[in-house]
Amino acid sequence: MHWADVTAQALAHKGNKHIISTGITPSGEFHIGHLREILTGDMISRAAKNAGLDVDFIFIVDDADPLRKVYPFLHDDYSQFIGHQIGSIPAPDENGKPDFEKFSKDGLSYADYFLSPFLEALRTIGVVPRIIKNLHSYRSGAFNEVSKIACDKADDIREIIERVSTRELAGDWFPWSPLDSKGSLEGVVVTGYDYPLVHWKDSHGVEGSSDITKGEGKLPWRIDWPAKWSWIGVTCEAFGKDHGAAGGSYATGREICQLFGHQPPQPLTYEWISLKGQGAMSSSTGNTIGPIEALELVPPEILRLLIAQSKPNKAIEFDTGMSLVNLADEYERLLSRNFDQELTEQDLSRRKKVQIEDAIGALKMSKVSPESTLESSNVTFRHLCLLAQTKTSDEMVWSSLGYSSTDKPPTSLVDRLNKMKLWIKSKHLPEEMRISIIDNPELEMFKEFGDEEIKVLKLLKEELERCEWNSEDIGNAIPNSAKTIELSPRIAYFVAYKSLMGRSRGPRLAPILAEIERERIIKIIEKCLIVINS
RNA sequence: GGGCCUGUAGCUCAGUCAGGUAGAGCAUCCGGCUUUUAACCGGACGGUCGCGGGUUCGAACCCCGUCAGGCCCGCCA
């Protein structure tokens, strides 16, 4: 059973109506890691729907969180906003400075600035959650009831946090963070509580009162989270391992939640995604691949597959090089499998059966829309990469794949070609996939050459000097260089690839050579002969 | 200090919850396709399941211990 179905099954035991939640703080550029949060929730939702449950899938935007520091991509001007809620401060402009004009005119907040493109990417990838903005929820009174309970039961909450997290809270700790005279959540000391007012004194020496029913502050994270579960009615939430550890915010949250009179949601802890060789992704260090950037390179199904095929507790190492190639090819392979037939095979071991079922599940979860039908294009990523690099026009790519003006390629394939061309142009294309002619051969390349190979190479040069310089004639010239001395054409290809590209196999050579000047090719072969003789 | 996750073929991983002959893909090698789409088809190679105990007729799987890597117990997906 697919992992999402396992979770759905657990939910089915608890009831028919479920609110599945996800949540992110838009404090900077979104990255692939955030996609795991959302897609894990999305996949559980889909599985739950398939199981016949009534599902509401939500995405809580934590725009009530404060700006922690001036991140490297921000201008120093932002230091005035440290501690301020990211839904209530201006977005950065192209220089990283606060854009006051857009903020006052269009209301574009810091949080919205990072959120909007992410939501756009989510649509592309087939995820359309109900959005709940935290700041608005506080201001509109959604937190009233739970906030009151939290403040009334401050001692109980303190006990839970201190016991479960084994962390001692400060003496003046209080389960409500008021906004200070400047609008910051930092450096404020709570001096008293008299519902609905929390009295405070800030770092500037100013004293005031925060009305908890008007969103003049917020609950600290460890209380804010279970508070959301309670007023929204969350029954299931997937969260990163940082929250899942013993003593972490889920552990305290599940108890605090019950204080609010609500049962804690079904948890699912997921591992992080790291960038190969560079450690965990982090918005603040700039070590990221954005979902938007990734979607420019590959179709959304493939990004979904990345999340779907790995169990949540597996760490994922991602990169936009060979990992992407393998992932994309894996996707095509899945599409072309005949699962029905595989499942009817005799003597199917339990192990094998599980494997097939998981593959079916992963493929199902990779669909952008649950209803869409999947069809195999029978064109692998590698192959398309090759065609995109060697053909000079799209038409030539299509005709190579057997399409014509009457039998046009499907739009999904056209889209893939366009993405492929972007990938080839980008810095992400691995050297391994790049087609290149080696102009300066080295002796190392010819260590497998014997007398026959050298003879063929000399004949190849003669053939290429003589033939018409077009794809067809070059295509004949290569095998002929071996045939004339009654050797297998295989040797001729081996010799040609080694000499021109430094590898023993490769893509169809003739069309590539036809695009290059004859003189350059002849010169390379001459150099090869010199190197071999040296 | 306390806790969580991971460790299975050269690589990426499935299989661990419900113990029953160790699996896939990639890579490599060989063969086929009488002149190659890095294609396609067939085959081969490849593992003391981190290590040591225990339970069991039987353990990758359950239990105890141990080693290694990652992470959490301020904030972070």
Look at A376 and A196; give whichever has higher pLDDT.
A196
Same domain, A527 and A449: yes
Q: Lowest-confidence range among A281-290, A401-410, A508-517? A: A281-290
Q: Nucleotide B3: nearest residue by CA–C1'?
A: A246
Which 3 state secondary structure label does DSSP give A63?
coil
Residue A119 inside a domain? The answer is no
Residue A110 and residue A68 in contact, taking contact as beta carbons nearer than 8 Å:
no
| Distances A108 to A42, A87, A113 between C-alpha atoms, Å | 27, 9, 7
CA A4 to C1' B69, in angstroms, rounded, equals 27
Do A457 and A424 sit in the same domain of this protein? no
Query: Cα angle vertex A215, ends A211, A217, to 5°?
Result: 80
Task: Note whether A425 and A393 are same-domain residues.
Answer: yes
- Among the residue ranges A219-223, A390-394, A412-416, the one predicted with the least confidence is A390-394
Bridge-based pairing of strands A236-240 and A266-270 is parallel
Task: Flag whether A125 is in a domain.
Answer: no
**Structure confidence at residue A41 (pLDDT):** 92
Using the CA of A167, give the nucleotide whose C1' is nearest: B73
What is the phi-psi region of residue A15: left when phi exceeds 0, alpha when psi lies from -120 to 50, beta otherwise?
left
Same-domain status, A402 and A459: no
- Measured from Cα to the C1' atom, the residue closest to B39 is A383
- A414 in the same domain as A388: yes
Shared domain for A410 and A478, answered yes or no, is no
- Look at the block and give the residue holding tokens 């095929």: A309
Q: Phi and psi of A389, rounded to 5°?
A: -85, -25
Let me know if residue A519 belongs to a domain: yes
Nearest nucleotide to A497, CA against C1' atoms: B36
CA pseudo-torsion sign A270, A275, A278, A284: negative
CB A531 within 8 A of CB A444: no
**pLDDT above 70 covers what percent of chain A?**
93
Nucleotides of B under 7 A from a protein CB: 1-6, 12-18, 20-21, 23-26, 34-40, 60, 70-77
Whether A403 maps to a domain, the answer reads yes
Whether residue A456 sits in one domain with residue A501: yes
Across all strands, nucleotide nearest A351 (CA–C1'): B15
Asked which of A433, A452, A473 is the last residue of a domain, the reply is A433
Nucleotide nearest to A248 (CA to C1'): B73
Nucleotide with the nearest C1' to A249 CA: B73
CA-to-CA separations, A173 to A176, A216, A218, A331, A455, in angstroms, rounded: 9, 17, 14, 52, 86
CA–C1' gap, A141 and B52, in angstroms: 60
Nucleotide nearest to A272 (CA to C1'): B77
> Residue with CA nearest B36 C1'?
A508
A107: in domain: no
A425 versus A89: the higher-pLDDT residue is A89
Q: A88 pLDDT band (50/70/90 cuts)? A: very high
Smallest CA–C1' distance to B72, residue: A245
Nearest DNA or RNA nucleotide to A401 (CA to C1'):
B37
Nearest C-alpha neighbor of A450 from the set A396, A498, A385: A498
Q: Which domain holds residue A429?
A: 381-433
CATH number at residue A505: 1.10.10.350
Assess whether pLDDT exceeds 80 at residue A200.
yes
From the CA of A246, how many Å to the C1' of B4?
7
pLDDT for position A167: 79
Domain boundary among A389, A414, A433: A433
Give the number of residues written for chain A. Answer: 534
Point out the nucleotide closest to A40 (alpha carbon to C1′): B77
Do both A425 and A450 map to the same domain?
A: no
Asked if A284 and A254 touch (Cβ cutoff 8 Å), the reply is no
Task: Give the residue-averaged pLDDT of A266-270.
Answer: 87
Distance measured from the CA of protein residue A266 to the C1' of nucleotide B55, in angstroms: 33
Instruction: Answer yes or no: is A277 within a domain.
Output: no
Q: Write the DSSP assignment of A64-118 as a string of letters.
A: TSBP-S--TTS-GGGGGGTTBBTTSSBPB-TTS-B-HHHHHHH--BHHHHHHHHH
Alpha helices in A166-271 (DSSP H): 221-228, 241-244, 249-259
Q: Minimum mean pLDDT among A77-81, A268-272, A465-469, A504-508: which range?
A: A504-508
pTM as predicted: 0.86
Q: Which residue has the closest alpha carbon to B6 C1'?
A: A314
Per the structure, how many domains does chain A have?
2
List pLDDT tens digits, range A241-262: 888 777 788 888 988 999 999 9
Q: Please check whether residues A481 and A457 belong to one and the same domain.
A: yes
Long-range contacts of A387-396 (CB under 8 A, 24+ apart): A388/A417, A388/A420, A388/A421, A388/A424, A389/A424, A389/A434, A389/A435, A390/A435, A390/A507, A390/A508, A390/A511, A390/A512, A390/A515, A391/A511, A392/A515
CA of A55 to C1' of B37 (A): 46
Q: What's the Å distance between residue A456 CA and nucleotide B51 C1'? A: 55
d(CA A462, C1' B3) / Å: 73
The Å distance, CA of A270 to C1' of B76, is 14
Distances (CA, A) of A137 to A64, A74, A107, A186: 9, 27, 17, 21
Tens-place pLDDT, residues A89-145: 999 999 999 999 999 999 999 999 999 999 999 999 999 999 999 999 999 999 999
> Would residue A138 count as lying in a domain?
no
* A488 CA to B56 C1' distance (Å): 61
d(CA A35, CA A49): 21
* Cβ-contact A201, A177 below 8 angstroms: no
Checking each nucleotide's C1' against the CA of A492, the nearest proves to be B35
Q: For residue A66, which nucleotide's C1' is closest to its Cα? A: B75
CA of A425 to C1' of B37 (A): 21
Interatomic CA–C1' length for residue A351 and nucleotide B15, angstroms: 6
Q: Over the stretch A329-380, which tens digit does the pLDDT of each residue have? A: 788 777 777 777 777 766 666 667 777 788 888 888 888 888 776 666 667 7
Q: What percent of chain A has pLDDT over 90?
A: 34
Q: Nearest residue to nucleotide B74 when comparing alpha carbons to its C1'?
A: A167
A423 with A452, same domain?
no
Confidence category of residue A279, pLDDT binned at 50, 70, 90: low
* Residues whose CB is less than 8 angstroms from the CB of residue A122 and which lie 6 or more positions away in sequence, other chains included: A38, A128, A129, A291
A517 band by pLDDT with thresholds 50, 70 and 90: confident
Predicted ipTM of the assembly = 0.80
- Asked which of A226-240, A327-341, A518-532 is least confident by mean pLDDT, the reply is A327-341
Q: Which residue is nearest to the C1' sugar atom of B14, using CA? A: A355
- Confidence band of A311 (pLDDT split at 50, 70, 90): confident
How many angstroms from the chain centroid is the CA of residue A105?
33
A459 and A427, same structural domain? Answer: no
- Contact in structure between A429 and A423 (CB atoms under 8 Å): yes
Q: Which two tokens stand for residue A392?
A: 């000079």
CA→C1' distance for A529 and B42 (Å):
37
Nucleotide nearest to A3 (CA to C1'): B17
Whether residue A401 lies inside any domain: the answer is: yes
* Maximum mean pLDDT: which of A185-189, A311-315, A341-345: A185-189
Verify that A447 and A528 share a domain, yes or no: yes
**Rounded CA–C1' distance between A32 and B65, in angstroms:** 39
| H or E element, residue A56 | strand A54-61
CA of A500 to C1' of B59 (A): 55
A4-40: b or e for each residue (b if 16 or more CB lie within 10 Å)?
bbebbeebeeeeeebbbbbbbbbbbbbbbbbbbbbbb
The pLDDT score that the predictor gives to residue A133 is: 95
Dist. CA A469–CA A127, nearest whole Å: 52
